[in-house]
A = this chain, B = another copy of it.
Amino acid sequence: MSTIAVFGAGVMASALTNPVRDNGHQVRLIGTHLDDDIIDAVQAGRPHPGLQVELDPGVQPYHFAQAEAGLAGADVVMVGVNSFGVDWMGHQLVRHLRPGQRVLIVTKGLRADAAGQLSIFPEVLRQAVGQLADQVTWSAIVGPCIAGELACRRPSCVVFTGQDQASLDLLAGLYRTDYYHVWTSTDLVGHEVGAATKNIFAFAQGFAQGLLQARGWADGPHRMHNYSAALFAQGSREIHDFIRLLGGDPATADGLGGVGDMYVTSVGGRNVRAGALVGAGVPFSEVRDQRLRGVTLEGVAAIGVVGQALERLTAAGQLSSQAFPLTRFLYRVVSQDAPLDVPWSSFFGGQA
């Protein structure tokens, strides 16, 4: 039996308590300072407020004030916050992480420096903890997995990725069940880039729904699936190109860590909702400041980080201005309230 300390009690991290509990491991769910209501609910045996599903009764809940006890002696430390919490988590790991522990990261995103160089989050966290980085192992979970479905134990296929195959095998062994199917891959860069950038394109998958309303077509028999599929296809191309840009294996984009994850992210969620509002004609600044004020939009945040990085790389002569036309267009939409005039002719190598 292993001890897994899940740090962050959001929907994804909490749903991930299921497979390890079902495999008989000790699981501690540690809330952040924002998660007290979740931990209270779990302690009281009520459904998780975000999932609306009860966690396994064997999950041991810890408030943030008890984080030290929750993390002490854990074999696995799961980083379960969202992308906005990555720096905060770095500080926490400096305090609580111990040599020999295995870090397993659910958080997705990319960080850009002033020159536009992009880094994956496992690298950001490694740097945050300094010399401790080489005394623990670093792995991450990616792939198409909606938390609510995992919370109901519905079939899900994911990838555990990292540079240390032995760690991946050990972690995959802790989590594999007959509903949670785990592959492993040492293409950490490719998988992290795919997981972060697919969120960018999910925002664009909302457009058609809004456009149908704005044009009075919502009640007619015909949709705009061709429009969405073309954006999906260009999104797929750009995920491949992002992985190439950061030095991963582009073939990773073909499977669970790329188009599979983009597919599931495109069916719904907050980024798609924001895209639908833009499709309906609401300037993005109004979506951000009024319509969806206070709503966590990881995809839009990724567009901001990556869009600005692409501009910097292009200004420095390190990237063609023709590269990533969809991402650049989405960046104009979220940073300048650009209208939804999709630059189709720049897509797919710009032949059309």
- Does the CB pair A345–B221 fall under 8 Å? no
Copies in the assembly, this chain: 2
| A27, B176: Cα distance in complex, Å | 59
Contacts of A149 in B (CB 8 A): 222-227
Which of A121-129, A178-186, A275-283 lies at the interface with chain B?
A178-186
Contact with B along A19-38 (1 / 0, CB 8 A): 00000000000000000000
Contacts of A176 in B (CB 8 A): 352
Known: A154-B226, A155-B344, A226-B155. A233 touches B253 (CB 8 A): no
Are B156 and A226 in touch, CB under 8 angstroms? Answer: yes
Q: Kindly state whether residue A52 has any CB partner on chain B within 8 Å.
A: yes
Contacts of A344 in B (CB 8 A): 155, 157, 181
Residue contact B144 to A224, C-beta cutoff 8 Å: no
The reply to whether A263 and B157 contact each other, CB–CB distance below 8 Å, is: no
Q: Chain A contact residues: over half helix, strand or loop, or mixed?
A: helix
How many positions in chain A have a CB within 8 Å of any CB in the partner chain? 55
State whether A233 and B267 are in contact (beta carbons under 8 Å apart), knowing that A144-B226, A152-B222, A348-B255 are contacts in the complex: no
Contact (A233, B181) CB under 8 Å given A227-B154, A263-B263? no
The answer to whether A222 and B181 touch across the interface, beta carbons within 8 angstroms, is no
Chain B residues near A230 (CB-CB < 8 A)? 144, 155-157, 181, 256, 260
Chain B residues, Cβ within 8 Å of A267: 223, 225
Does A232 have its Cβ within 8 Å of any Cβ on chain B?
yes
Q: Which residues of B contact A225 (CB under 8 A)?
A: 144, 146, 149, 264, 267
Question: Is A260 a contact of B224 with CB atoms below 8 Å?
Answer: no
* Additional pairs, 15, CB under 8 Å, beyond known A155-B230, A157-B233, A236-B259: A144-B225, A144-B230, A144-B233, A148-B222, A151-B222, A154-B226, A157-B230, A157-B344, A157-B347, A157-B352, A184-B351, A228-B263, A229-B261, A236-B260, A253-B254
The 10 listed contacts between A and B (C-beta, < 8 Å) are: A52-B221, A152-B222, A155-B226, A155-B230, A155-B342, A157-B233, A181-B230, A181-B352, A229-B261, A236-B260
A residues in contact (CB < 8 Å) with B = 52, 144-146, 148-152, 154-157, 172, 176, 181-184, 220-230, 232-234, 236-237, 240, 253-256, 258-261, 263-264, 267, 342, 344-345, 347-349, 351-352
